[in-house]
Amino acid sequence: MKNFHELIQLAKTKGQKRCVVVKAEDDAVLEGIRLAMEQKLITPVLIGDQKAIIAAAGKVGLSLQAIDIHDIADEKEAIKKGIEIIKVQGDFLMKGLLSTSVFLKGVLDKEFGLRTGKILSHIAVLEVPTYHKLLFMSDGGMNPKLDLNVRLDIIRNAIGIMKALGIEKPRIALVAASETVNPDMPETVDAAAIVEMSRKGEIPGAIIEGPFGFDVAVSKQAAQHKKLQSELAGDVDFIAMPSIGAANVWAKGLVYLAHAKIAGIVAGAAKPIIMLSRADEAETKLNSIALGIATS
């Protein structure tokens, strides 16, 4: 898949999906909803302060005439209602104008949340002008402490998302600051272990290599200069980043300095979850909605 236009076209083939938005009184969120409705991608359900939703919708030209609105101003009650709806008649959940901590606490609640027993992980999808296809990256938003088992769950979540998008055998690079396994750099030790597991068939459905520098992952020439033999260099689909900080900073760097377009999704829950920064533009929200539809 080369770009977000192709992703949106794929989403259109899935039919209109029910998007449940928690605390929807946000201009950019509602503009993203409007764009998605114009593309006939979604039937939205909006939860939040109704007066504020009406005011924000007026600013972005969104007609609320045929949209179901639940007037709940309190953050905790809004996320609880959103999960209640999505369990019965929703396809994916979207975070609006509420704190990430409250949103995730609701999603992870043992009593009414969307737990499946898997670790939840955030996956960024980037359309970078200098790269030939969409680039998937994780985890820049969910898991601050990584060990071998967490990294494996992140990879398995990503494989599931990419397969849902028609990438039959995802090409995965385990990125670190060095191609050499170093006990002082746990991500390199974990990468070597994951690659060995992959060779033994314990992680089916993907080609996995590492540890790699980021340059080797995205550039065949870099691999050649470093005299590294790699089947994936310059043609990876997914980059497993060494830490939440590296993933978050690098993704935002690509957006703000390299003019990349981005979408994001949380994988591992009972339903796809769109959780974006309040600074993200409406186009990012549209791309993420398409991602949620295509993987639901």
Distance CA(266)–CA(269), nearest Å, equals: 7
Tens-place pLDDT, residues 19-28 = 999 999 999 8
92-95 vs 17-22, strand pairing mode? parallel
Average the pLDDT over 64-74 and give the result.
94
Residue-averaged pLDDT of the chain = 93
The domains found in the chain, sorted by start residue, are 4-116+269-294 (3.40.50.10950), 121-257 (3.40.718.10)
Instruction: Identify the pLDDT of residue 61.
Output: 94
- Cα–Cα distances (Å) from 112 to 108, 234, 254, 272, in that order, read 8, 43, 37, 16
Tens-place pLDDT, residues 25-47 = 999 899 999 999 999 999 999 99
Given pLDDT bands bounded at 50, 70 and 90, which one contains residue 279?
low
68-71 vs 135-138, strand pairing mode? unpaired
Count the Cβ atoms, other than its own, within 10 Å of residue 180.
10
Specify the DSSP class assigned to residue 118. Answer: S
Tokens read off for 248: 């978050």
Tokens read off for 247: 């993933």
Tokens read off for 30: 């509602």
Given pLDDT bands bounded at 50, 70 and 90, which one contains residue 278?
low
Percent of the chain with pLDDT strictly greater than 90: 80
